Structure 1
Amino acid sequence: MIKTPLRILLVEDNEADVLITRRNLQKLIENPTIEVVEDLSSCKQKLINFIPDLVISDYNLPTCTGLEVMQLVQARSPGLPFIFLTGTVHDEELAANTILAGASGFILKKHMSQLEEKLKPLLNKVVFMMSEKQDVRERLRQNKIAINQIYDYLDNLKADNKEQKENINKIKGTIRDINLWKNGDDSEA
């Protein structure tokens, strides 16, 4: 059993699959925190305020595709592990393409009875990549939440004129530069 507490964002619209996935994750992880959403807007809000360690997403959702979810995740949190868990993709080429597009893993729902076995190596990889101590990870998470909320606020701010728009972009640039300097890269922006 994985002792490291993991924060998991599950993007899934089928309640039965949510229950099965949640149960299997709880078998593998001692105290997981699992948030469930089923659309891009809710996913974006969780990326801003929840800051998951891992995203698991269905491929076909009512209002979007799993690829759109993955693109959103990659744009908001580059390098965040992303696993597809889907029943509608039977094409091996498409599965390979999702991995090439940046997914960390791909599990077909027809293997739900073996989900625990299939998820275990992927989760172990996530934990291995999270080598920072818990308190450092939590401080980074809180800083990232604050930065994401500032970006979200600035994105939603209605700029009435060109000067205001330029000032907003300068503020964003300054925040990005400070974040790059503090972290040595842009993976936390």
Structure 2
Amino acid sequence: MITIPLRILLAEDHKTDAELITFHLEQLVETLEIRVVDNLPLFNQELQIFVPDLIISDYNMPTCTGLDVLKATKEFDINLPFIFITGTIEDEEMAANTILAGASGFILKKDMRNLQEKLKPLLKRVVFNISQQQVIRDRVRKNKIAVNQIYQFLDSIKAENEEQRANLKEIKKNIDGIELEKDDK
């Protein structure tokens, strides 16, 4: 069972399929928060306020296609994992096109009995990426602590003359510029 909490946004217009997908996800993920939408405007809204770790989408819905959902996802975050669970993708060319468009994978609805087996490797990749991002977040936090310690040290230095005070201000300004450059990237 996956122990890292996951936030999943599911775009699915059939209530029964949404419930079945949710059931299978609950068997794989210990702490799961899932939101279900059935149209593109609601999807875009949830994408902004829910900020999921993974998107799962049907391919054909009454008001949009899965490719519309994929496009909105990639505009929001190009690295956000995206999986199609669909009954529509039957031919290899269409399946290849979804992967080329940026989907992480797809599962056919005819394989719903084996959904956990099909989802498990895809979810493991998502969890691995989340854990890698956690390492980066920890590094950023440690760097911010170090910068704050430098500020405290600089503040504790008693400048004896105007030139030293000007140099300390310039050092602080340069440190602030470094932080802004990191945030812009």
TM-score when normalising by structure 1:
0.72
Structure 2 distance, partners of 1:104, 1:9, is 15
Q: In the alignment, which residue of structure 1 is the partner of 2:97?
A: 97
1:115 aligns to 2:115 (yes or no): yes
Structure 2 matches for 1:1-189, cutoff 5 A? 1-131=1-131, 132-133=133-134, 136=137, 181-182=182-183, 184=185
Give me the whole-angstrom Cα distance separating, in 1, the residues matched to 2:6 and 2:68. 23
Write out per-residue CA displacement over residues 95-133 of structure 1, whole angstroms, 9 at most, x where no aligned residue: 111011100011000000000000000000000011233
Mapped to 1, the partners of 2:181 and 2:84 lie a distance apart of 30
Provide Cα deviations, 1:130-170, integer angstroms capped at 9, x if missing partner.
12339x59xxxxxxxxxxxxxxxxxxxxxxxxxxxxxxxxx
Find the residue that maps to 2:118 and give its secondary structure: helix
Structure 1 residue identity aligned to 2:108? L
| 1-structure distance, mates of 2:17, 2:28 | 17
Higher RCO, Cα 8 Å, sep 6+: 1
Greater shift, 120-129 or 86-95, is seen at: 86-95
CA RMSD of aligned residues (A): 2.2
In 2: Cα distance, 1:46 partner to 1:71 partner = 15
- Quote the Cα distance in structure 2 between the aligned partners of 1:179 and 1:109: 47
Residue 110 of structure 2 aligns to a residue whose secondary structure is: helix
Question: Judging changes above 3 Å, is the alpha-carbon distance between structure 1 residues 179 and 116 closer, same or farther for their aligned structure 2 residues?
Answer: farther
TM-score normalised over the length of structure 2:
0.73
Which structure has greater helix proportion? 2
Extract unaligned runs of 5+ from structure 2. 139-178
Runs of 4+ off more than 4 Å: none
Instruction: Determine the C-alpha separation between the residues in 1 that align with 2:42 and 2:110.
Output: 27
Describe the shift of the 1:72–1:118 C-alpha distance in structure 2 as closer, same or farther (beyond 3 A): same
Which has the larger Rg? 2
Secondary structure, in 3 states, of the residue corresponding to 1:80?
coil
Compared CA separation, residues 18 and 2, structure 1 to 2 (3 A): same
Question: Unmatched 5+ residue regions in structure 1?
Answer: 138-177, 185-189
Partner AA of 2:16 in structure 1: A
Deviation by residue 1:19-54 (Cα, 9 ceiling, x = unmatched): 110000000000110000011100100111000000
Q: How much does 1:179 deviate? A: 8.4
The count of corresponding residues between Structure 1 and Structure 2 is 145
Cα pair distance change 1:2/1:180, threshold 3 Å: farther
Aligned mates of 2:4, 2:12 — CA distance in 1: 24
The whole-number CA distance in structure 1 between the counterparts of 2:13 and 2:102 is 22
Show the counterpart of 2:158.
none
